[in-house]
Each structure stands twice: as C-alpha cells, then as structure tokens.
Amino acid sequence: MKRQKTGKSLALTARDLAIFKLLERYRYLRSTFIHDFVGGQSETRFKERLGDLYHEGGYLTRPEQQWETARSRYLPAVYENSDRARDVLAAQGRLADPCPHMPYGTSGAGRQFAHSLMICETLASIELAVKAKADLRFVSWPEILAKAPEGARRSPNPLRLPGSSCSLGTATELARNGDTVPDAMFGLGYGGEGRRSYRFFALEVDRGTMPIMRSARGQTSYLEKMSAYHGVAARGVHRSHLGIPNLLVLTVTTSEARKQNMLSALARTIEDSAMFLFKEVGAAAHRNGATLGAVLQLPWDCAGRSHVDILEPGD
C-alpha cells in the first residue's frame, strides 16, 4: 500500500512503455486487466514487474481510494501512471491527450473513484472482448474525435453532446440545459476491410446512486438523461457534432432489480426506446477483479425490442 524501495536496478522495457500508454488511455486499471492487454505468459511475474514499477521506479501509483472498501486487500491492485511515467511518454513523443472520461485531477475519494474505476473496467472489458474476435475492430474515443468536425475537436469538452443550450457547467447544469455528457464513447467495426460496417456507443455506468426518475422535470435523474439522449438522436446531434452515423446508449448497472426498473421506466416514458441497451454486471464486477468479457459478450436487454448482441453487426 506504500512504496518501499529495496535499491533494485530498473531498466525500462518496451512492455513497460506499453503499460504506460495503456494507463494513459484508461487511467485506472487493475493488474489483471493490464496483464490481459500487454502481459506475458506468467501473470505472477507480470504482477511482480508492476510492483517494481511502483516501488522501485515510482513510475506507477496505486490510488489510495481503492483501499477504502472492505474487500479491497483481496482484489488485484489498481494502478495509474505517475508524473514520472507521463514524462517518459512525453520525452518519446507518445504522450497523447488524457482520456476525456477521466482527466487527471478530477477523480476524488469514495463514490467518484469507484464510478471512474467502473467506467474504465467496463470499457476495457469491451475492448478485450473485441480483441478476441478476428472480424471485429474496437474504435477508441481518440479515433472518433480525430475524424469529428472541427467544432468538436476544438471543444474543451468534446464528449459533451450539445442540447438546446451550448453553455458549459457541472453535470447537473449540463443536464438542465439539455446537453448530454456520456461516461465514455467508442465504436465497433464489423467484418473485413472493404465491407466493414460500424456502430457507435455512448456508455453509461450506473452504481445506483442517481434516482431513476423524479416527480419534477429538470432535476437530475437517470430518465432525464436518457430523454436527453433521445433528443440527441432525434436531432442528429451525433452526426453534426461527432460525425458518426448512428448512436446506441449502453447502460451497465449493478443489480438485476435496478436494471428491470430502468427498462420499465423507459418503456413507459419514451415511445421509441430501441436505442437503449442494458446489462447487469453486479456479481461479475466484484469477483476477483476479473474482466467482464464473458458477461458483456452475452446479449444486452432492450426496452424496445428483443435482446441485442453488440458484438454482432446490427440490421
């Protein structure tokens, strides 16, 4: 939990640099996730190397917020780049813009860190599931933004999907102005080159802290945000702002009962709710820090149609 140097010499390797680049994209990942992306055959040796990068080199940090939960010491450690790792990437011209869903300096203790970690682990699990399929391609947020119209590329918050107002502010203020800020965005490419089709997704991670609906409109709630997404799609904001041809909204939540309540609320409120897909990962999300690939590869629930497999091309 605290750095303890032993004087061991440490020379950076190509795989170390791959670890730094991965954490620059995701910010927070457990050792198990990092190994699945860039590790070798021995997971034990790999974890020892992560320990060396933390204890001896000071290249990685272990966010203190992870130790606040009861089972934290029995789960794989969560890692993040230190300023020293970012300096190494910058010196080699490999320091990209930080992930917009987790910019440095914004994630605090408690709920906010847990929410941020769940975003990273969900998105990483989807990317790992895609990597296992030869006819699929994961389209990261930087790739989406690189091809977006100039207005989005120059925006201080390009993830913000404009609503009726273009003002900036807190998440609550943005919701009241009709703007929508996803937890993350990505795309999937289906089929081989020359015959590839694409679908794009806004990701919402729900830990049960936001009310599903409120009696008064304009108050922050899950249903209010989904209504804003529905407006985004109806006005074609995803096309005009980001240049993507379609948009589905994925909600990952932590209990089956809450998922069913969300589905029911959407079905009663939004007539055409086929763009909203749901997955409950509560049991898997806390099991030994493992990736969620097996769960996320199962069809997603939908209020407006039958189950949808996001790893298969759509209609």
User: Rounded mean pLDDT of 196-206?
Assistant: 93
pLDDT digits (tens, 9 = 90+) for 140-161: 998 999 999 999 999 888 888 9
**E strand map for 31-104:** 60-61, 78-81
- CA 8 from chain center: how many Å? 35
The pLDDT assigned to 47 comes to 94
The pLDDT assigned to 168 comes to 33
Tell me the Ramachandran region of residue 194: left when phi exceeds 0, alpha when psi lies from -120 to 50, beta otherwise. Answer: left
The pLDDT assigned to 170 comes to 37
pTM of the full structure: 0.86
The pLDDT assigned to 178 comes to 62
Please give the share of the chain, as a percent, with pLDDT higher than 90. 44
Would the pLDDT of 244 be above 90? Answer: yes
pLDDT digits (tens, 9 = 90+) for 179-195: 788 999 999 999 877 77
CB 213 within 8 A of CB 149: no
Residues 6+ apart with CB under 8 A from 105: none
Residues 6+ apart with CB under 8 A from 209: 111, 115
pLDDT digits (tens, 9 = 90+) for 43-69: 999 999 999 999 998 999 999 888 887
